[in-house]
Amino acid sequence: MSWQMYVLIGGSIAIFILLLLYIFGGEEEEVAERLERYVTPVPSRREDKRASPSARRTMPFSESLNRAIAGRGFAEDLRLQLARADLKVTPAEFLSIQILTAILAGALAHFFFRFLPLVLLGLIVGFLAPRLYVAWRQRRRLQAFNAQLGDAISLMVNGLRAGYSVLQAMEAVARELPPPISTEFDRVVKEQQLGLSLDQALGNMLRRVHSDDLEMLVTAILIQREVGGNLAEILDTISFTIRERVRIKGEIRVLTAQQTISGNVLLFLPIGLGLALFGINRDYMLNFFNSGILGYFMIACTIVMMLIGYFVMQRIVRIEV
C-alpha cells in the first residue's frame, strides 16, 4: 500500500477524533442552555454542587452549514431524530460525521481488500453507520423512558392527591427521578414557564419521545383539562396498565432472546466470514466475481435469502402488547 493511503487513513482518523471532541466537548444542549437564561432550573436530588458546565463548543463551519440546510425537510427530520436519541449535535455536525465515517470506512476497505466493490460497500456502510447508532440510541432511550414512566405517573398521582397542581407534580418528577424521564419533564416545566401552554409543551414532549404509553398519559391530562374529573384516579389506572405492559414486554424479551440472537448471527456471520476469507485468500473469493453473471447471481441470491430469513425471524419474535 502506498504512503498516500496511510496519510488518508491517518488523516481521516485524526479529523474524526477532533470532530468528536468538538461536538461532545461540552455537556449542555443548546436548547437547554437557552432555557437556563430565562428560568430557574429544577434542582435535582442527584445533582452535585459543582459549577455549571461550559457551553458546548461548535465547529467553525457548522453554523454556516446549519443555515444552508435550515428549513429543509430532511434537516428538520434529522433534528427530530437526534433529539429523540438525546444526541447533542446539530444536523450539520451529524452530516459531517457521516461523511467522515464514510471516508474512513472506504479507506479501511481499500487497505484490507483493495477491491472496488468492497470499497464502495465500505463507503455506504460508513455513511449509514451513524444513522444506525442514532436508531440504537433511540430504542435504548425509549425503553428506559417506558420503564420509568410507571414510577413517574405514581409520583404524579401522589402529588395530585397531596394537593399539587399538574405542573408541580411534573416538577416533582423532574426533581426526583433520573434521566431520561426527568430531562423530558423538566423541559415541559421550563417551556411552560417561558409561556407555552401545557398542551403545546406536552405535544413537544410527545414528538421527542415517540411512546404509546406516554401518549396515553398526555391524552388523559388533556381530556381532564377539557371535561374535568379525578385525574389522580385516571392516572393511577394508567400507571397500573403501563406497569403490566412493561412486565409482559420484559417476559417476552427474555423468551425471544435466543431467536433474536439467532437471527442476528444468521445475518452477520456469513458476511463477517466472507470478508475474513476475502482478506485471507483473495484469489479464492475473486472466483465469484470472475465467473461472470453466474457468480453475481449466486451472491445476489445469497444476500436475498439471508435478508428474508432475518426479517422473517424478526417478525416472528415481534409480539405487540
DSSP label of 53: P
Q: Which fold has domain 143-250?
A: Receptor-associated Protein (1.20.81)
Does residue 287 carry a pLDDT above 70?
A: yes
Phi, psi of 229 (to 5 degrees): 125, 175
Would you state the pLDDT for residue 28?
A: 43
Answer yes or no: are the C-beta atoms of 148 and 183 closer than 8 Å: no
Based on its alpha-carbon atoms, the radius of gyration of the chain, rounded to whole angstroms, reads 25
Asked whether the predicted pLDDT for residue 81 surpasses 70, the reply is yes
Rounded CA separation 176/188 (Å): 15
- Predicted local distance difference test score (pLDDT) of residue 253: 87
Once rounded to an integer, what is the mean pLDDT over residues 81-99? Answer: 85
Domain residues of the chain, as ranges? 3-40+66-140, 143-250, 256-317
Task: Give the closest residue to 24 by CA, choosing from 83, 94, 75.
Answer: 94
Residue 271 CA to residue 294 CA, distance in Å, equals: 19
Residue pLDDT, tens place only, 241-254? 888 888 898 888 88
State the Cα–Cα distance between residues 46 and 178, nearest whole angstrom. Answer: 8
**Contact present, 298 and 274 (Cβ < 8 Å):** no
Instruction: Look at residue 236 and tell me whether its pLDDT is greater than 70.
Output: yes
Q: Residue 206 to residues 17, 83, 91, 145, 188: CA-CA distances in angstroms?
A: 34, 12, 21, 12, 10
pLDDT digits (tens, 9 = 90+) for 3-21: 555 555 666 666 656 555 5
Which of 67-71, 89-93, 252-256, 317-321: highest mean pLDDT? 252-256
With b meaning 16 or more CB within 10 Å and e meaning fewer, what string describes 28-38?
A: ebeebeebeee
Dist. CA 286–CA 319, nearest whole Å: 42
User: What whole-number percentage of the chain has pLDDT above 70?
Assistant: 77
Look up the pTM and report it: 0.76
- C-alpha dihedral, 160 to 165 to 170 to 171, nearest 10°: -110
Beta strands in the chain (DSSP E): none
3-state secondary structure of 27: coil
- The three-class DSSP label of residue 311 is helix
Q: What is the DSSP string of 147-194?
A: HHHHHHHHHHHHHHHTT--HHHHHHHHHHHSPTTHHHHHHHHHHHHHT
